[in-house]
């Protein structure tokens, strides 16, 4: 094979390495407790599965779906946005279902980025934002997200020559991996920045339904003028424990959605219709599962945060998202610390470096670990910590 140039710098997706390491350990008969991947452990709610099963028996659903999705699904997405965020969307122009949001996130760069164009990407961030731009020959400018700015990018710090070349910017709140949130004043600033410099905004929002205490996340589209400048990617994966079914959506700017629809119609044949019917049930049926899941995650969050802080790993309690972002002890890199935990305790955490340079110094723990395993994993961490005092002895 003579691989394309674009393959030269393309590694396997970050999590594949982690999954392989876990599989190796398990194959040797070792127990591994993984806090690594944000894949809900609780099942898809029964009403959704029931709808999926009924729809699977209908012969109409055995045939090719349309890329644009069932009109009933686009309507259900628009109705959900109206109910949840009080945003009115035109389901024929401002809504497009996706084969999981990762698929649309990966393809949107094809619509906006030519060779040499710049995409502004937060650092740390979900890796697909930068990979998609690099795959189409674009360049990535990383916007540092740091604790002293509440993990929000500072637009004033972006050099003028970069701003001039930038065509697209990624944002993600509630944030993976930091657990940070954004308010409407921040999103207003994003719209202003976008208007001033003609930069299309892609806001990725799969964690809006995982929230704690009295907080409820907002949508980027709630900012005035947002739909004139950008889109919001969303997903049923985390809200309804549907990661395995692969269904998400993008909503907002009609031109961006039309461009993505044209690209997709040339590449894919849509989402299996039975899954689309399941999604309609998820979005328009009872929403009780959201509070039920969040109550479970909140208890886990409190246990994890308490233990990590006892261990001296400075950790803020997130108000939303599935993630705890914890500082690693002095003397360790995030990869060294994660490796030690895996080798010595059998606990998997994600090294922050995997999300970018500014993720160094942190590890991410996901709350999607079943309760009994979570408690066991935390107690193993606590025991290990007691034998390790002080952490600085590492170097
Ligand atoms: C920030 C972020 N965006 C998008 C996705 C993709 O979600 P999906 O493709 O399951 O909709 C994930 C998955 O972990 C994520 O963390």
pLDDT of residue 389: 62
Q: How far is the CA of 283 from the centre of ligand 1 (A)?
A: 18
* Cα(326)–Cα(347) distance, integer angstroms: 15
Asked whether residue 385 carries a pLDDT value surpassing 90, the answer given is no
Decide: 258 and 227 in contact? Cβ < 8 Å: no
Closest C-alpha residue for ligand 1 atom 16: 176
Mutate to test the pocket of ligand 1, among 125, 127, 178, 235 (most ligand atoms within 8 A of CB): 235
Across 287-308, average pLDDT: 97
Backbone phi and psi for residue 54, each to the nearest 5 degrees, phi listed first: -60, -45
Q: Is the peptide bond before 125 cis (omega within 30 degrees of 0)?
A: no
* Cα(229)–Cα(199) distance, integer angstroms: 8
Asked whether residue 217 carries a pLDDT value surpassing 60, the answer given is yes
Asked whether residue 187 carries a pLDDT value surpassing 50, the answer given is yes
pLDDT of residue 395: 43
pLDDT of residue 13: 72
Q: Give yes or no for residue 237 CB within 6 A of ligand 1.
A: yes
Mutate to test the pocket of ligand 1, among 41, 208, 210, 238 (most ligand atoms within 8 A of CB): 238
pLDDT of residue 308: 93
Q: Give yes or no for residue 173 CB within 6 A of ligand 1.
A: no
The model's confidence at residue 392, banded by pLDDT at 50, 70 and 90, is low
Between 61 and 385, the more confident residue is 61
Q: How far is the CA of 102 from the centre of ligand 1 (A)?
A: 6
Across 287-303, average pLDDT: 98
Q: Is the peptide bond before 124 cis (omega within 30 degrees of 0)?
A: yes
pLDDT of residue 387: 85
Asked whether residue 219 carries a pLDDT value surpassing 60, the answer given is yes
Give the three-state DSSP class for 316: coil
Please, what is the end-to-end C-alpha distance for the chain in angstroms?
45
Token pair of 139 as six digits: 């360049």
Of ligand 1's listed atoms, the one at least distance from the Cα of 175 is: 1
Give percent of the chain above pLDDT 90: 87
The burial class, CB within 10 Å (0-12 / 13-18 / 19+), for 296 is: middle
* Cα(254)–Cα(248) distance, integer angstroms: 17
Q: Give yes or no for residue 132 CB within 6 A of ligand 1.
A: no
DSSP 8-class letter at 315: B
Non-local (6+) Cβ contacts of 31 within 8 A are 346
Mutate to test the pocket of ligand 1, among 100, 206, 325, 367 (most ligand atoms within 8 A of CB): 206
Asked whether residue 15 carries a pLDDT value surpassing 80, the answer given is no
CA 119 to centroid of chain Cα atoms:
18
Give the three-state DSSP class for 350: strand
- In what helix (H) or strand (E) does residue 215 lie, and over which residues does it extend? none
pLDDT of residue 158: 98
What's the chain's average pLDDT?
Answer: 95
Q: How far is the CA of 387 from the centre of ligand 1 (A)?
A: 37
* Cα(166)–Cα(220) distance, integer angstroms: 20
Asked whether residue 209 carries a pLDDT value surpassing 80, the answer given is yes
Task: Using alpha carbons only, give the angle 156, 157, 159 rounded to the nearest 5 degrees.
Answer: 100
Q: How far is the CA of 378 from the centre of ligand 1 (A)?
A: 26
pLDDT of residue 391: 63
pLDDT tens digits, residue range 132-151?
A: 999 999 999 999 999 999 99
Q: How far is the CA of 125 from the centre of ligand 1 (A)?
A: 11
Q: Give yes or no for residue 366 CB within 6 A of ligand 1.
A: no
Q: Give yes or no for residue 208 CB within 6 A of ligand 1.
A: no
């Amino acid at each position: 094979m003579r691989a394309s140039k674009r393959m030269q710098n393309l590694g396997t997706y970050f999590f594949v390495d982690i999954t392989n390491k876990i599989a190796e350990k398990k194959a040797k008969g070792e127990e591994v407790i993984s806090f690594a991947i944000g894949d809900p452990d609780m099942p898809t709610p029964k009403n959704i599965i029931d709808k999926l099963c009924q729809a699977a028996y209908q012969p109409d659903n055995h045939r090719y779906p349309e890329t644009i999705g069932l009109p009933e699904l686009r309507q259900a997405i628009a109705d959900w946005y109206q109910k949840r965020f009080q945003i009115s969307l035109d389901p024929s122009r401002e809504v497009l279902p996706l084969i999981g949001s990762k698929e649309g996130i990966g393809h949107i760069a094809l619509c906006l980025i030519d060779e040499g164009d710049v995409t502004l990407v937060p650092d740390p961030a979900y890796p697909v934002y930068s990979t998609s731009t690099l795959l189409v020959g674009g360049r990535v400018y990383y916007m540092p997200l740091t604790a002293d700015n509440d993990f929000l990018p500072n637009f004033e710090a972006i050099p003028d020559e970069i701003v001039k070349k930038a065509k697209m910017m990624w944002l993600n709140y509630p944030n993976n991996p930091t657990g940070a949130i954004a308010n409407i004043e921040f999103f207003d600033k994003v719209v202003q920045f976008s208007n001033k410099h003609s930069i299309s905004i892609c806001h990725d929002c799969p964690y809006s339904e995982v929230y704690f205490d009295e907080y409820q996340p907002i949508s980027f589209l709630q900012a005035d003028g947002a739909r004139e400048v950008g889109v919001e990617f969303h997903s049923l994966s985390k809200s309804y424990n549907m990661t395995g079914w692969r269904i998400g959506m993008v909503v907002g700017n009609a031109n961006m959605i039309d461009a993505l629809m044209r690209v997709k119609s040339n590449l894919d044949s849509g989402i299996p219709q039975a899954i689309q019917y399941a999604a309609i049930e998820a979005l328009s049926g009872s929403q009780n599962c959201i509070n039920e899941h969040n109550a479970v995650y909140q208890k886990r969050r409190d246990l994890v945060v308490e233990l990590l802080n006892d261990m001296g790993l400075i950790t803020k309690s997130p108000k939303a998202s599935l993630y705890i972002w914890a500082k690693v002890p002095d003397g360790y890199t995030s990869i060294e610390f994660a490796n030690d935990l895996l080798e010595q305790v059998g606990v998997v955490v994600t090294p922050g470096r995997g999300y970018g340079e500014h993720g160094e110094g942190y590890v991410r723990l996901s709350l999607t670990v079943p309760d009994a395993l979570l408690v066991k994993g935390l107690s193993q961490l606590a025991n290990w910590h007691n034998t390790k005092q002080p952490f600085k002895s590492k170097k």
